[in-house]
């Protein structure tokens, strides 16, 4: 159990998990909305827990907005449908199967037949989405100049950012972009690839994003700002 709790304006008690790390210069915080509400803080050795809590309070409005905007979680069950990479995927269950089967009908529709027992249905769907997401992301990366390719691509479930690219060449992406329109997912991929050339958000960086993405960058950014929260409603 956490030693500290953030009490929201609605009365919800949200655990605060503080981690002290060597080499960290500033206090950073990350609200998590899934699978449960938590606030994670990283702080340098020189900073006290009390200073970390004061920092949380200074960001109260921002934190409250993140949790308020977090969508209600929807479980997935046989017969449900959701959009995946621009296709409407309908879920079916066949407990006699050991493996899943993905059937593409056309550019707009597909079926996922999920094997295994009832108790693993949702986790198998989630793992399928994550696997397909990484496959699709790597295909998008290969459309960019080879010198911008990352050394490693990993999928994460983050609530405060859609992607990042480290100086070592590791690209991290939120697998929930699989539920976004393909052009929006591609925008995030190209955004992070541009950081291979510019580790900032300078005019030169945005020029590189436009060069890699082509026409429609602002439209993709706008969609993500307006609808990004909806991508967290499953699992």
- 74 in a structural domain: no
pLDDT of residue 49: 93
First to last CA, the chain: 23
152-156 β-sheet, strand order: 152-156, 170-174, 163-165
* DSSP string across 158-198: -SS-SEEE-TTSEEEEEGGGGGS-HHHHHHHHHHHHHTTT-
- 76 in a structural domain: no
C-alpha distances in Å from residue 181, one per residue of 19, 83, 171: 36, 8, 20
- 103 in a structural domain: yes
pLDDT of residue 1: 47
pTM for the structure as a whole: 0.74
- 113 in a structural domain: yes
Q: Domain of 166?
A: 81-232
| Secondary structure element (H or E) that encloses residue 14, with its range | strand 13-20
pLDDT of residue 74: 83
Tell whether 32 and 105 lie within a shared domain. no
What single-letter DSSP state applies at residue 144?
S
Encoded tokens for 215: 């026409």
Encoded tokens for 206: 């945005």
pLDDT of residue 160: 67
Tell whether 40 and 60 lie within a shared domain. yes
- 121 in a structural domain: yes
pLDDT of residue 73: 74
Neighbours of 109 (CB within 10 A): 13
pLDDT of residue 157: 86
Tell whether 108 and 188 lie within a shared domain. yes
- 75 in a structural domain: no
Q: What is the CATH number of the domain that holds 152?
A: 3.30.2010.10
Question: Of 78, 33, 75, which Cα lies nearest the Cα of 235?
Answer: 75
Tell whether 97 and 192 lie within a shared domain. yes
Q: What are phi and psi of 220, to 5 degrees?
A: -65, -45
Q: Count the domains in the chain.
A: 2
pLDDT digit string (tens) for the chain, length 235 residues: 457 999 998 888 899 999 998 888 899 999 988 767 899 999 999 999 999 999 999 999 999 998 887 767 788 999 999 999 999 999 999 999 999 999 999 999 999 999 999 999 999 999 999 999 999 999 999 999 999 999 999 999 876 689 999 999 999 999 999 999 999 999 999 999 999 999 999 999 999 999 999 999 999 999 998 888 889 888 8
C-alpha distances in Å from residue 210, one per residue of 191, 194, 202: 9, 9, 13
Residue 135 region, left (φ>0) first, then alpha (ψ -120 to 50), else beta?
A: alpha
Encoded tokens for 204: 């030169």
| Secondary structure element (H or E) that encloses residue 139, with its range | helix 121-141
Tell whether 215 and 167 lie within a shared domain. yes
pLDDT of residue 153: 97
């Amino acid at each position: 159990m956490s030693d500290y709790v953030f009490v929201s304006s609605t009365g919800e008690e949200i655990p605060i998990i503080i981690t002290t790390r060597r080499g960290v210069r500033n206090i950073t915080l990350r609200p998590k909305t899934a699978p449960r509400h938590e606030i994670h803080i990283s702080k340098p050795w020189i900073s006290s827990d009390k200073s970390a809590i004061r920092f949380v309070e200074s960001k109260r409005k921002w934190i409250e907005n993140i949790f308020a905007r977090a969508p209600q979680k929807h479980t997935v069950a046989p017969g449900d449908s959701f959009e995946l990479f621009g296709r409407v995927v309908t879920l079916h269950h066949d407990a006699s199967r050991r493996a899943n089967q993905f059937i593409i009908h056309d550019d707009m529709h597909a079926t996922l037949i999920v094997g295994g027992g009832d108790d693993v249905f949702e986790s198998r769907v989630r793992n399928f989405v994550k696997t397909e997401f990484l496959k699709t992301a790597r295909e998008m990366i290969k459309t960019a100049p080879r010198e911008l390719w990352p050394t490693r691509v990993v999928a994460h479930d983050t609530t405060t950012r859609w992607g990042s690219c480290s100086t070592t060449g590791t690209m991290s992406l939120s697998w929930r972009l699989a539920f976004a329109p393909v052009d929006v997912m591609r925008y995030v991929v190209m955004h992070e690839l541009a950081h291979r050339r510019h580790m900032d958000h300078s005019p030169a960086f945005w020029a590189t994003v436009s060069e890699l993405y082509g026409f429609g960058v602002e439209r993709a950014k706008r969609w993500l700002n307006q609808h990004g929260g909806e991508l967290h409603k499953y699992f």
